[in-house]
Amino acid sequence: MGSPERVTTPPRGAVKMNRMVIPKALVCGVVLVSALVTGGCGAAQRQASGPAAAELVAQADAVATPRIAWAPCAPPIRDLDCAVVPVPLDYANPTGPQLTLAVTRQPARDPERRIGTLFTAAGGPGGSGLEWAAKGELFSGELSERFDVVTFDQRGVGRSSAVRCFPDSTAQQEFWRTLALPPTDETQQRATEDASRRLAAGCERGDGALIAHLTTVDAARDLDLLRRAVGDRQLTYEGGSYATYLGIVYGTLFPDRVRALQLSSLIDPVAYTTDTRAHIAATAVGTEEVLAEFLRLCAAAGPSRCAFGATGASAAELRARDLALLEQAKPAALPVGTGPDAVSVSYGELIQAHATLLYDPVRGWPALAVLLAQLELGPAGNPAVVREVLGAVTMSEDFLDSFVAISCADNSLPAQPGRWPEFAAQSDAPVFGPFWLYLRQPCATWPAPATGYPQRYTGPWTQHTTAPALLINNRFDPATPLSSAQRAAEALGTARLVVVTDGYGHEPAGPCVTTLRVRYLVDLHLPAPGTTCTTDRTPFTG
């Protein structure tokens, strides 16, 4: 029996990793979906509390179950089945306009022992499950034997009915290429505010009807249609990062339709929906905390294992050197190399590289160390290596459009774009707070429907699922800090939280995590309260 872990990591955030020629090459590993027949679940099932939740569920149950016509996927997806599934644009109008979901399936490799379907989703929001599928098999080992594994592109994303905010790809690329995130002076602040207004207006022109129906509640109701379509009585679901919020919403709305929810790298649903600034602040503080660990462990490893290290240098000394590079990059991009092959790294690129490379302690952390060392070398540095590192963490423009559209549909940010400089100045994380905040500035001018978002759900979040959810979080996560996981566990009430006590990065991993995950998803076995894990993914040990 092969390893039961994922063989290709589903996308968990705003990161695109490619293979790189650096020590212990960094590969894609950080950054996840005809005729109609009647169906649905009976009204006698226990639903989430509150009339708003009951109405959301009733609207979903009024939709006929779609029939999935599986066929072999076209390249670049190989050896998997694909389908396009129609779902309502607006669940309040179930017979009105439809949109489509792109779905892919890895059939169970031991059909005689098949349990059902394991649904898994990409993070972000805005990550593409089908992009993940194009990299190879979705799961290996026991999970691949016992389940059909199904992933998909959420509405607004990728090959599903996707957000379109620009007239063409050239305009899209130019917009994101020239945008300074985060801005470092008043001129850039005015430019980003203007850009946020233009982006919001462009998304409304591109498909105003679609962006009115991109909440995670809409996605959760799509997921319930997919569950019904594959014939499963209850949902088995695995998701990380933003996809944990999708799982939480599903479990809250459809508790009796849940077989298992395994959620890793948790979003706090209360802050995410009702106090988005607090959610952003928690993320930024977590990124700062993990950066401090990166510098501490780099100093301990020394220059033989960490390219940014120096013999006898302390973590405080490395921190001072890192801050010096960031300050130098604010007024002007930092050059590496000379002549026509030279490359310049802007402040925004450097902040983004920090934030995203910290996701992966095994490959991303060494890459960040290499980047910082090359920036210190300046004209004597190797521009090819710098290009490789920066190319590996590029946020795709399609991802950014979808990230903004879905985030703005769910958020509670004030409609005051001119106050973003004030909000940034108030951050407890002065390096990363503005970065995570300004990514969402378009939400301040977002074209909400005249009726608002009646389908947006803000709690309560107490789960009454048949089996409690299994939550797993690293102690040091740069995007979904442990504090968020603890608040999510408290909000859900019955969920079981496992902490990887020496875990770094945005994906819990290692034999302990794998065993707990597989035994829960296959056997519905929950670890004892207070269970912790350790990991073999230790930074700077290669």
Cα dist from 288 to 110, 285, 327, 407, 465, whole Å:
45, 5, 16, 22, 35
- Of 384, 416, 444, the residue that ends a domain is 444
Task: Take residue 484 and report the two structure tokens written for it.
Answer: 């968020």
Whether residue 377 is found in the same domain as residue 404: no
Burial label, 379 (beta-carbon count in 10 A; 0-12, 13-18, 19+): exposed
Whether residue 481 is found in the same domain as residue 515: yes
Provide the pLDDT confidence category of residue 17 given band limits of 50, 70 and 90. very low
pLDDT above 80 for 37:
no
Phi-psi label, residue 74: left if phi above 0, alpha if psi -120 to 50, beta otherwise? beta
- Of 376, 392, 408, the residue that ends a domain is 392
Alpha carbons 32 and 103: distance in angstroms, whole number: 11
Helix H or strand E encompassing 205: helix 186-211
Angle at 119 between CA 151 and CA 78, to 5 degrees: 35
User: What are the tens digits of pLDDT across the range 372-405?
Assistant: 999 999 999 999 999 999 998 888 899 999 999 9
467 within domain boundaries? yes
Whether residue 265 is found in the same domain as residue 367: no
Whether residue 326 is found in the same domain as residue 365: yes
The residue written with tokens 């649904």 in the block is 119
Angle at 143 between CA 138 and CA 145, to 5 degrees: 95
Beta strands 470-476 and 258-264, pairing class: parallel
Whether residue 155 is found in the same domain as residue 180: no
In this prediction, what percent of the chain has a pLDDT beyond 90? 83
Question: What are the backbone angles phi and psi of residue 520, rounded to the nearest 5°?
Answer: -70, -50
Alpha carbons 218 and 89: distance in angstroms, whole number: 9
pLDDT above 80 for 33:
no
What's the total number of domains in the chain? Answer: 3
DSSP state of 465: -
13 within domain boundaries? no
pLDDT above 50 for 304:
yes
DSSP string for 212-255: TT-SHHHHHHHHHHHHHHHT-SSEEEEEETHHHHHHHHHHHH-G
Alpha carbons 93 and 449: distance in angstroms, whole number: 15
Alpha carbons 469 and 11: distance in angstroms, whole number: 21
Burial 458-480 (b: 16+ CB within 10 A, else e): ebebebbbebbbbbbbbbbbbbb
Whether residue 306 is found in the same domain as residue 251: no
Alpha carbons 294 and 318: distance in angstroms, whole number: 10
Whether residue 196 is found in the same domain as residue 220: no
523 versus 22: the higher-pLDDT residue is: 523
39 within domain boundaries? no
Mean pLDDT of 456-467: 91
Whether residue 110 is found in the same domain as residue 232: yes
Whether residue 267 is found in the same domain as residue 413: no
Residues in a beta bridge with 150: 105, 119
pLDDT above 50 for 2:
no
Do residues 106 and 73 make contact, with C-beta atoms less than 8 angstroms apart?
no
73 versus 466: the higher-pLDDT residue is: 73
pLDDT above 50 for 506:
yes
**Cβ neighbour number for residue 312 with a 10 Å cutoff:** 9
pLDDT above 90 for 46:
no
Angle at 105 between CA 102 and CA 109, to 5 degrees: 175
User: What are the tens digits of pLDDT across the range 398-457?
Assistant: 999 999 999 999 998 999 999 999 999 999 898 999 999 999 999 999 998 777 788 999
pLDDT above 50 for 96:
yes
Q: What is the pLDDT of residue 44?
A: 31
Alpha carbons 240 and 124: distance in angstroms, whole number: 9
32 within domain boundaries? no
Give the domain CATH number at 134: 3.40.50.1820
Q: What is the pLDDT of residue 136?
A: 85
Whether residue 110 is found in the same domain as residue 221: yes
* Residue span of the structural domain in which 498 resides: 53-162+211-273+458-533
User: What are the tens digits of pLDDT across the range 110-141?
Assistant: 999 999 999 999 999 999 999 999 998 888 89
Whether residue 257 is found in the same domain as residue 126: yes
Residue 352 has, within 13 A of its CA and on its CB side, a CA count of 25
- Of 417, 444, 471, the residue that ends a domain is 444
293 within domain boundaries? no
Whether residue 254 is found in the same domain as residue 133: yes
DSSP string for 63-131: SPEEPP--EEPPTTS-SSEEEEEEEES-TTSTTS-EEEEEEEEE--S-GGG--EEEEEE--TTT--HHH
Angle at 154 between CA 106 and CA 441, to 5 degrees: 145
Alpha carbons 406 and 484: distance in angstroms, whole number: 20
Q: What is the pLDDT of residue 8?
A: 40
Question: What are the backbone angles phi and psi of residue 50, rounded to the nearest 5°?
Answer: 100, 140
Alpha carbons 173 and 166: distance in angstroms, whole number: 9
Alpha carbons 223 and 115: distance in angstroms, whole number: 18
**Cβ neighbour number for residue 209 with a 10 Å cutoff:** 13
278 within domain boundaries? no
Size of the chain in residues = 542
ω before 125 within 30° of 0 (cis)? yes
177 within domain boundaries? yes
The residue written with tokens 């968990």 in the block is 12
Alpha carbons 309 and 519: distance in angstroms, whole number: 41
378 within domain boundaries? yes
